[in-house]
Amino acid sequence: MEDNIIQTEKGTLIINGGNAVNDCPIDWDEAKKWQENANKDSNGDWERPEWKWDCGFKLDYDGAILRISSRFYPPKTHYGKTWDGTVTVCIFDKEIKEQKFDCKTLNELKHEVEKYVLGLHTNLIELITRT
């Protein structure tokens, strides 16, 4: 029996998922080289999912697909009398939609921006779950 498989009267315990087969890295140096090569097209761009090894050489592909970026200017003499700016929706690094805001108060800005982003969230969930 393999060292990582323990038989008991209550059942079988497999520690760390068994011995490596096929393409499983044999050590962390090999795993790191594979990971760097697999992620070479992402250039460390935090918006894209990336491949990462976890303990026991479990493999993850994690990261954001959608990102919200915004900038709002405060009411000042050289900006204007209102809070104005934009929310930009990006998929990976491509800007796909920009929404402008122009609000009289900071509370109004907060409310309107959060309502807009929540609407995007709701629409995305509906779109993804119906396919």
Alpha carbons 17 and 56: distance in angstroms, whole number: 8
List the chain residues with pLDDT less than 70.
1-4, 13-21, 42-47, 131
Tokens 């000042």 correspond to 76
Alpha carbons 95 and 24: distance in angstroms, whole number: 37
Domain ranges of the chain: 26-64, 66-130
Q: Give tens-digit pLDDT for 30-51.
A: 999 999 998 887 665 556 788 9
Predicted TM-score (pTM) of this structure: 0.68
Write the CB contacts of 106 (distance below 8 Å, at least 6 apart in sequence): 83
Give the CA distances from residue 45 to residues 19, 50, 93, in Å, rounded to whole numbers and listed in that order. 34, 9, 8
